[in-house]
Amino acid sequence: MVEKIRKSPFERYNSIGQEEIDAAQKVLQSSVLSAFVGTWGEGFSGGSEVRAMEGEFAEFFKVKHAISVNSWTSGLIAAVGALGLDPGDEVIVSTWTMSASATAILHWNLIPVFADIDPNTYCIDPDSVRSLISSRTKAIMAVDIFGQSSDTEALLKLCQEFNLKLISDSAQSPNAFREEKLVGTSSHIGGISLNYHKHIHCGEGGVIFTNDDQLALRMKLIRNHGEVVLRDMPNSELPESTVNIIGFNFRLGEIEAAIAREQLLKLEILTKRREQIAQKLNDGLKDLKGLITPFTEETNTHVYYMYPLRLNIEELGVDREVICSSLEEAGLFGVERGYENLHLLPIYQKRDAYGKSGIPWSLNPSFNISNYSKGSCPIAEEFNDISLFLLPLCAYKLDDEDVEDIIKIFHHIWKVYGWKST
């Protein structure tokens, strides 16, 4: 019989304090809520808060350029567009990610090719990537999922071998490290999300990182009506290539920038707390039969946007739904089953992203359509459908008593089903 261990929901995660309120109020009192102008000149780079924010993020993440955008989806669109690829070209991306990672590729009439994941880190598997490289492959998008880095070194070696570019989608991993470098800063382009349920946020927003001057300029043009701005730029300032300079309004406002500046000051404290929570959970759950706690590579730190858990279904003898429902019945709110398999979404099955013409797939007759078939990413499919579930640490502010409640709930359920500790 399942006992109700916890009767009330956990407190909602909130990183906003008086500092952010004061910063937003200061901008409101100035009446300058945005200073962007879609022409070449001072207004092209935004207002004082945006410029200060970008400088502070560049310094913190130790990159040459930090470019603010109004969402990380916008950041990914700008990053892919900056590569100057041709319609029908292929970009390899993890299937185990939020949909925007792939639709940012589709946006430019490029073809997402979906790679499987590493069974330990859940990040994109370099061996799977290698097997998918074709003559039309031009880039890799690595998603640093749940809070730790992909194998950046292996992916950069593939880029060097096949003349590719690497984009790191580090939306969920700000202030995580790999080889003593902050995640998202070692690739050709990287960046983080400032969406409301991330470690730090300004409501909606994102920051793109690069050390490449040309890529930075191209992303700034895509962010801010570049097709018009090009007309006004002096020849000495023009980008080396104007391919794919279709400008948008991806600009961040002054209020959001001011809030983001205050949030950056809290990043180390907030991610450290996530690591402490995860360590308590690891220690409390590691001996439960058939339960696989998160793995972190030796070269990585992990900031736990999500706390992923895997079940050995054969060993336990019951399916995931039974266990997740029992955990919820005992008071563990918000358990998420699986994550995502983008290659199986209708848009890729029907290939109808742009009307009935089949674009961009019809532009590349050599594309192997079996990449979108069930079974093409077996690890991600198994984890999504059968064995993996997530505790959304991103959603809650957990104190030590809350963490103890989570551990108690797990131990209670394991006792109910008669599973002994390992």
What does the pLDDT profile of the chain (422 residues) look like in tens digits? 899 999 999 999 999 999 999 999 999 999 999 999 999 998 999 999 999 999 999 999 999 999 999 999 999 999 999 999 999 999 999 999 999 999 999 999 999 999 999 999 999 999 999 999 999 999 999 999 999 999 999 999 999 999 999 999 999 999 999 999 999 999 999 999 999 999 999 999 999 999 999 999 999 999 999 999 999 999 999 999 999 999 999 999 999 999 999 999 999 999 999 999 999 999 999 999 999 999 999 999 999 999 999 999 999 999 999 999 999 999 998 899 999 999 999 999 999 999 999 999 999 999 999 999 999 999 999 999 999 999 999 999 999 999 999 999 999 999 999 997 76
| Backbone φ/ψ region at 147: left (φ over 0), alpha (ψ -120 to 50), beta | left
pTM over 0.75: yes
The domain containing residue 156 runs over which residues? 18-265
pLDDT of residue 422: 64
Residue 57 within any structural domain of the chain: yes
Q: What is the DSSP string of 349-400?
A: HHT-SBTTTTBTGGG-TT--GGGGSTTSSHHHHHIIIIIEEEE-GGGB---H
Q: Quick check: 57 and 66 in contact, CB under 8 A?
A: yes
Q: Which residues contact 7 (CB under 8 A, 6 or more apart)?
A: 331
Give domain status of residue 49, yes or no: yes
Structural domain includes residue 30: yes
Query: What pLDDT is stored for residue 334 in this prediction?
Result: 86
Residues 321 and 395: their CA atoms lie apart, in Å, by 21
Look at residue 1 in the predicted model and tell me its pLDDT. 84
- The CATH number covering residue 227 comes to 3.40.640.10
The position carrying tokens 């879609």 is 38
What's the pLDDT score for residue 333? 85
In the chain, what is the straight-line distance between the N-terminal and C-terminal CA atoms, in Å?
22
Pairing label, strands 111-115, 90-94: parallel
Task: Report the domain count for the chain.
Answer: 1
